[in-house]
Amino acid sequence: MASSTATMLKASPVKSDWVKGQSILLRQPSSVSAIRSNVTPSSLTVRAASSYADELVKTAKTIASPGRGILAMDESNATCGKRLASIGLENTEANRQAYRTLLVSAPGLGQYISGAILFEETLYQSTTDGKKMVDVLVEQNIVPGIKVDKGLVPLTGSNDESWCQGLDGLASRTAAYYQQGARFAKWRTVVSIPNGPSALAVKEAAWGLARYAAISQDSGLVPIVEPEIMLDGEHNIDRTYDVAEKVWAEVFFYLAQNNVMFEGILLKPSMVTPGAEAKDRATPEQVASYTLKLLRNRIPPAVPGIMFLSGGQSELEATLNLNAMNQAPNPWHVSFSYARALQNTCLKTWGGKEENVKAAQDTLLARAKANSSAQLGKYTGEGESEEAKEGMFVKGYTY
């Protein structure tokens, strides 16, 4: 939406009261104003702008299959380096390859995991045994996916907020990723509650997600739409709900404007929780109540899967909250797309030592099985380790 942002000076001021209850003036991109003023029933028709429509629906349904969720292992090389440093390893391609091999080759992983989000290096990488990572995943009945955004950068004119870059050249990149074996994509953008959020930041996030989704579908990739509400802050759960309600409404408005086929996307939202630094914590039942209410009010039943991010929750907390949301039938497949909440204990168990690979894989499988049970609403929490209870919140987290 960079071109839209560039036309801001031509637009009329739009009043916003999202910034901590204060009324401020923000300028709305003229292209957005035009969309708002020229909406007709036909322009809201949701259709696939792609010859891949049937395949997109099939892929989305495969990923949103009972008792399964997504392993997010798409950390950038820099973030992967931080993870490796935590266990005393250098950030080399060989070490990244060894760790990613451990993950994708865990025996029976496909029983609990339906999709794996990869970083670009991993999509083209082979395992330590010389097999393509993509082929190992497919053999496990796991759909390969790819992170396509180019990360967050400061959003000029906002309240110290960010926007997600990566639309330039995206069509050619997604086409190449499809040829390499990827069948779904992921684009993460974030909204910060302590920083507002400003109307400008929310519109930028929503528009970027919508353009990415349309381009991905046109290349045959199911887009994971990820509008993450950051955990940073001392706000209560009601404040999170109010912000998420506005963000999700904006996202789906622009998805429709860009003719994105809802049956061929997956939503990866944050759960509705208090800020990480809030004094009052929420029970899994409260998180489930708020989150499911928001889903019912904002998400069309046509969307096949809601794949929640963990966002710095502990492994145990993320599983308990997911389980609470699956105590009654939902119109969507309500599942998980976890990174740290699946990998944290696994990484520590491995420690970079070959002799620990099996034990680390067993730990990964145990976490995947726990979340599989939670997706089915049958998780009991028995036998959880102390490591699983450790919080993983990082203020201003980026990857």
Q: Any idea which residues carry the catalytic annotation?
A: 226, 268
Q: 300 in helix, strand or coil?
A: coil
Distance between CA 175 and CA 311 in Å, rounded?
Answer: 29
Distance between CA 260 and CA 57 in Å, rounded?
Answer: 12
Q: Provide CB contacts within 8 A for 34, sequence distance 6+.
A: none
CA dist 352 to 9, 87, 97, 376, Å?
53, 7, 11, 33
Given the DSSP bridges, would you call strands 266-267 and 143-147 parallel, antiparallel or unpaired?
A: unpaired
Cα dihedral: 270, 229, 398, 118 (round 10): 40
Nearest to 136 by CA among 180, 94, 106: 106
Supply the DSSP symbol for 71. E
Q: 312 in helix, strand or coil?
A: coil
Determine the residue type at 263.
Answer: E
Residue 154: cis peptide before it, omega within 30 degrees of 0: no
Element (H, E) at 252: helix 237-257
Element (H, E) at 117: strand 113-118
